[in-house]
Amino acid sequence: MTTPADLAGYERAWRILRGTVGLLVWILLRPRVTGREHVPVRGPLLLVTNHESWWDIPALGWAQPRAIRYMAKRELYAYRPLGWLMRWGGAFPVRRGEPDRDALRTVHETVEAGGTVGIFIQGHRQAELEGAKAGAGRCAVVEAVPVVPAAIRGTRTWRPGRRVGTASGPPRISARVFRRPGIAYRETADELMAEIRRLYELAG
């Protein structure tokens, strides 16, 4: 069960992280931020983005004001220190390649309590802006809360001295309308991926 008290704890964790490692993120990545004004500062939110590397997590965290509860593959939690750190910051496990009711329940409880869930739309790290997972579309359609598409550019090839870019688009609310659920989820995921590709050009 995710409660407002839980979300307050994640907010404190993110304030600590921004206060301790935020300067380091700025020095190393020198983020170029576009569209920060599109991210609502409060209320339920899904933040859907591409995934180039592990640098995406601090880059997107630095670029916008919300405490993000990231979906993270369950295997990562086998490493206890890493698993503890991820849970402390609000991340939660998901079983990839199959419907995970526990993860979907966490998504619902988080946005119902007014929090932010971060979803990597491709499900794993990759260079190409392809392969949107229908699960991201499902979350958008079923939860019917604002969804902000975001693009992260440059983390995969980052080296000291290079900059990373992020771009966020206007929030949207997806609806099933008269479509069958599976079709609605697939089409919504594809629409979000198309917007992320557009934003990727702005993040360069």
Give the pLDDT of residue 143. Answer: 96
Give the pLDDT of residue 78. Answer: 84
Give the pLDDT of residue 192. Answer: 98
Mean pLDDT confidence for 94-102: 82
Q: Of the ranges 28-32, 63-67, 92-96, 139-143, which one carries the lowest mean pLDDT score?
A: 92-96
Domains and CATH numbers, the chain: 4-202 (3.40.1130.10)
Rounded to whole angstroms, how far apart are CA atoms 31 and 49?
16
Write the pLDDT tens digit of every residue in 67-79: 999 998 888 888 8
Q: How far is CA 72 from CA 8, 58, 146, 172, in A?
A: 20, 14, 21, 24
Token pair for 97: 């390649």
Burial classification of residue 202, based on how many CB atoms lie within 10 Å of its CB (0-12 exposed, 13-18 middle, 19 or more buried): middle
Rounded to whole angstroms, how far apart are CA atoms 26 and 163?
10
Give the pLDDT of residue 13. Answer: 94
pTM above 0.95, yes or no: no
Give the pLDDT of residue 79. Answer: 83
